[in-house]
Structure 1
């Protein structure tokens, strides 16, 4: 008897999602204390550059938070990414350099990237992956965080090279925050395990910092009494479409870094200040650079209190300049 063949049409498979050229990152909202509900997970807050690593057929791309292509700056991350067991993927994470105590150090990262003279090598840069946005033809942004982490962890967990997993900590948020601050970390991140990946700033990702830290535009400097050294940075924040002076920063750099910063700023001096300010010894610069500054609070007249320099960025690299309301 001839075998009867079925004329039933096989079910249609859902179409594959094309890999996005770029995804605006999910950003954490600054809050005063960790959430206390059980559906939140915690991670260390890394002090580095936020990056998206795109793995595509025949190439790897590394994009900054602002969408700039920095692939050539991270050759060791590219090399490891090429060998991951994926066809296509987008990893969300942070590029850092660790100090001798295992803490991320933004200044060391800048030196490894060649922004300032240093013995820190580029191969010291580590990418900590904390989310997976796309994998093998599927856009994962609709999935809750716990599902995205379930897919992420087998790909990078246990690695000790240039690509590693940013570990989740299942713990009491207050206790984890206390320990993080005691160990000199910048703070912690809290993420709601049931929420999808949403671009922009929202309450589903929260950051709790041991001290306040923000980015400000460098609009000038005051020279030190030591020739060719930096005395004080002059800083500005955004207000609508303008820059507004918010005070200065005179600590946070070594003797050698003071000279290096002075030389960098002296190369972009201008006679047209970006802010309305009269100071006897001020030297104004083009608003091309951004200072990462740690501070305790704001004064009543809108100036930074106890500001300390933590690092420098190019303005084009950074879309997080502090904005006054």
Structure 2
């Protein structure tokens, strides 16, 4: 199935009311990683695109099993690629050694053995042939 290209949903700066005052706002921790949109066409494959639209799939070979996570259900998911330090915290410094390796899959695989990454997902943009962007954020999660 051909999935639509969708840009990641980006936060915008501003002044937010207290959560108790206005339930329309969502608060999330800022992750220190590389933004990525994951395309799962339902055939077991995975395509990762950076914010720029660049294909970064080959830079993160350990994420390939995600392509089978939903079986034959196609989906577009928004998230962040993270490398974790020895305390389990996101480390952009560790991730930098993994970024930019989509053109060098053999090197990416060697680095994946030393510094594995994780994909933290926070939004479902398209699911089973249906665009979900018109749904409220709380329903997409």
Is TM (by shorter chain) over 0.5?
yes
Q: Which runs of 5+ in 2 are unaligned?
A: 102-109
**TM-aligned CA distance change 1:45 to 1:108, over 3 Å:** same
Structure 1 Cα separation of the partners of residues 42 and 33 of structure 2: 28
Contact 1:49/1:95 (8 A) holds in 2: yes
> Following TM superposition, where does structure 1 have runs of at least 4 consecutive aligned residues deviating by more than 6 angstroms?
none
Could you list the per-position Cα deviations for residues 210-240 of structure 1 after superposition, in whole angstroms to 9, with x for gaps in the alignment? xxxxxxxxxxxxxxxxxxxxxxxxxxxxxxx
Tell me the equivalent position of 1:67. 53
CA-based RMSD of the aligned residues comes to 2.2
**Partner Cα distance (1:70, 1:63) in 2:** 6
Shift of 1:78: 1.7
Higher relative contact order, structure no. (Cα contacts within 8 Å, ≥ 6 residues apart)? 2
How many aligned residue pairs are there? 126
Whole-angstrom distance in 2 between the partners of 1:70 and 1:87: 22
Cα distance, 1:127 vs structure 2:
0.4
Q: Deviations over 1:159-195 (max 9, x none)?
A: xxxxxxxxxxxxxxxxxxxxxxxxxxxxxxxxxxxxx
The change in CA–CA distance for 1:19 and 1:112 in structure 2 (over 3 A counts) is: closer
Does residue 49 of structure 1 match 2:39?
Answer: no
**Structure 2 equivalent of residue 126 of structure 1:** 118
The answer to whether the 8 Å contact 1:19/1:139 transfers is: no
3-state SS in 2 of match to 1:25:
coil
Residue from 57, 67, 92 that aligns with 2:78: 92
- Distance between the aligned counterparts of 2:100 and 2:40, measured in 1? 25
CA shift at 1:25, angstroms? 2.1
**Distance between the aligned counterparts of 1:142 and 1:39, measured in 2?**
15
**Which is greater in Rg?**
1
Query: How far has the Cα of 1:34 moved from its partner?
Result: 4.2
If each structure's strand is expressed as a fraction of its own residues, which one has the higher value? 1
TM-score (structure 1 length as normaliser): 0.36
1:53 and 1:114 map into 2 onto residues whose CA distance is: 17
Provide the residue aligned with 1:35 in structure 2: 17
